[in-house]
A and B are shown apart, each in its own frame.
Chain A
Amino acid sequence: MTLAVAEERAATNPRVSERANALTRLRVADGSFRAITFSAAVFVLLILVGVLVSLFIGAWPAFRAFGFGFLTSDVWSAPKQQFGAASAIYGTIVTALIAMLIGVPVGLGIAIFLTELCPIPLRRPIGIAVELLAGIPSIIYGIWGVYFFKPVMQDYLQPFLIKTLGALPVIGALFAGPPLGYGILTAGLILAVMILPFITAISRDVFETVPAVLKEAAYGVGCTTFEVVRNVVIPYTRVGVIGGVMLALGRALGETMAVTFVIGNATRISTSILAQGTTISAMIANQFAEADEGLFTSSLLALGFILFVITFIVLAAARLMLARLDVKAGR
């Protein structure tokens, strides 16, 4: 049947033209569904661009007024209309550092326990329990921190640290001052618990990508469990573990509510980690609602912009590392 004949038939036979119509309808529906999903995907990109642009526009007056000094000045005074981000940036970095110092080894320890030591029937329940820690909202850590953790810090841990480490030369300065309960160390410790599950979940997943033959070979030549972990598992998954750690760091840097409750919210830099301080996110959460229009609000938006840029870089690096591991595992 030639094309011309077919077209003629289509013109005369209503059933064939109906079929052609149906096909056109399907093609239009098909095309528009694809277009809709594509625009939804592009919308995700627009959110990111929107966050960056809107924060930058809002932050511009502060950046223009203070220039580079905004990053280095630790003066934060509404009456004087002088704002600097240094104390907030300092607090953010120090609390995140404390959190990593404790969270990383413990998180890795749990991951090793779950993949190498734990009896198999217990793996799932314990894994889920640790992941539940990640599900507890930030605000709950906050209220718990104020009513339970802060008194423990004030009555036991901080006096103990002051008496022992505080008496040492050099590092004693880190533990100087009265035991206030609130402070940078308290915030850092709570952050450590909050990032634990992220480190555990990701390290456990990457540990499981180690081919069993490699581990068996190591056990076969007589390695102990921890020699296998140190010489086979960790080297094989190094990039992934670092990726997971960076991801947790990104979380720690941006965490707001838990920190706001326990850090004391003092805009100053002190050498002692027992002293009260603040972080970028705590500062925004605390002051934004009562900030007057103009430089004050703009400075807080500038803080938000800085926080977003820092976490973006950390998280991007984390994702790139994890992506490299996916390629290696052939996923």
Chain B
Amino acid sequence: MADFYHKRRRSNAVWTVLSYAATAFGLGWLVLILGALLWNGVGGLSLDIFTKMTPAPGVQGGLLNSIIGSLIMTGIGVLIGAPLGVLAGTYLAEYGHSSRVAWVIRFINDILLSAPSIVVGLFIYQLFVVPFGHFSALAGGLALAVIATPVVVRTTEDMLNLVPNTLREAASALGMPRSVVIQRIAYRSVRAGLVTGVLLAVARITGETAPLVFTALGNSLFEWDPRQPMSSLPLIIYDFARSPYPEQQKLAWTGALLVTFAVLGMSIAARVLTSRVSTK
């Protein structure tokens, strides 16, 4: 009998230690990766990064055109993806509920949420690059929009489901039509939640590389025109990280630092906003 208790206690101890070890392992990677980014990236941070163009091999330079390109393409992606996602999420939460159509759309949306982003790149390539005959920032932005939309759909629906039904009923009892109830009451009471969805979408597409490789292509020159190929931070990291020149490698690390901290900053901000919504 004592043997039996001993065995149980021992196996409990073993599993507990393994569980602690797993957590240490997971957190260890986070520390290693962030540490490497700071170690290699901070040294390269200077005003030049924000004022100079991406250089040719062996020349000093900055990341200005990539930063602007990232902003433009992320902007296009959000401008298209956010309204589309909010509207679709509204349909799922307010009109569709448990109807068959809504179920199918929700299901497909969840799949698109984790679909391989490189496939989205191929899709936009077929749809916008082949017919127009050249790569463009617009195509890159559209690819990002396709990735951003499901994120916004999902959070919008989740957030609207948090609105108490009594609130809707009260508004309806005052004679407000459905659309006004949604726009004036439901949207307002979860405004922070809707912003969270958009923030999460921006965080998601800021670091996307795969869908841009053959839509936006990249560009070593400064470009405002969205009909031309454009550089972006992830694209330049992809390029320069494999470059044999130390100046370019250094820029890749600095770019990686910028991207990672922008993305992590946004996801933390989104989390703070959500906790505010759900405690309300």
**Chain A residues within CB distance 8 Å of chain B:** 26-27, 29-30, 33-34, 36-38, 40-45, 47-48, 50-51, 54-55, 57-58, 105-110, 112-114, 117-118, 126, 128-133, 135-144, 146-148, 193, 196-197, 200, 224-227, 229, 247, 250-251, 253-257, 261, 281, 284-285, 288-289, 300-301, 304, 307-308, 311-312, 315-316, 319, 323
Contact = CB atoms under 8 A, between A and B. Distances in A.
B193 interface: no
B119 interface: yes
B32 A148 contact: yes
Size band of the interface chain B makes with A: 35 or more
Interface stretch (B48-56, B162-170, B205-213): B205-213
Given A44-B88, A109-B21, A117-B20, A304 B119 contact: yes
B124 to A, nearest CB: 9
Given A45-B108, A105-B22, A200-B26, A304 B122 contact: yes
B185 interface: no
User: Taking each of A48, A139, A261, which has the highest tally of chain B beta carbons within 10 Å of its own beta carbon?
Assistant: A139
A110 B20 CA distance: 7
Contact of A130 (B27, B95, B115, B208): B27
9 nearest A-B pairs in the assembled complex, by CB-CB distance: A137-B207, A254-B116, A109-B22, A40-B87, A33-B179, A37-B91, A224-B12, A41-B91, A40-B88
A139 B234 contact: yes
A135 B267 contact: yes
Given A281-B116, A315-B114, 6 more contacts: A40-B84, A47-B149, A55-B119, A105-B22, A140-B260, A224-B9
Given A47-B146, A139-B238, A227 B119 contact: no
B92 interface: yes
Interface stretch (B60-68, B71-79, B99-107): B99-107
A34 B23 contact: no
Contacts of A106: 22, 25-26
Contacts of A229: 15
Nearest to B31: A129
B122 A58 contact: yes
A40 B92 CA distance: 10
29 contacts: A29-B179, A29-B180, A30-B180, A37-B88, A37-B94, A38-B95, A40-B87, A43-B88, A44-B150, A45-B104, A48-B112, A51-B115, A126-B27, A130-B26, A131-B267, A135-B203, A135-B263, A137-B208, A137-B260, A139-B209, A224-B8, A226-B15, A256-B117, A256-B209, A261-B241, A284-B122, A285-B213, A311-B116, A323-B107
Given A45-B105, A113-B22, A130-B26, A226 B11 contact: yes
B153 A227 contact: no
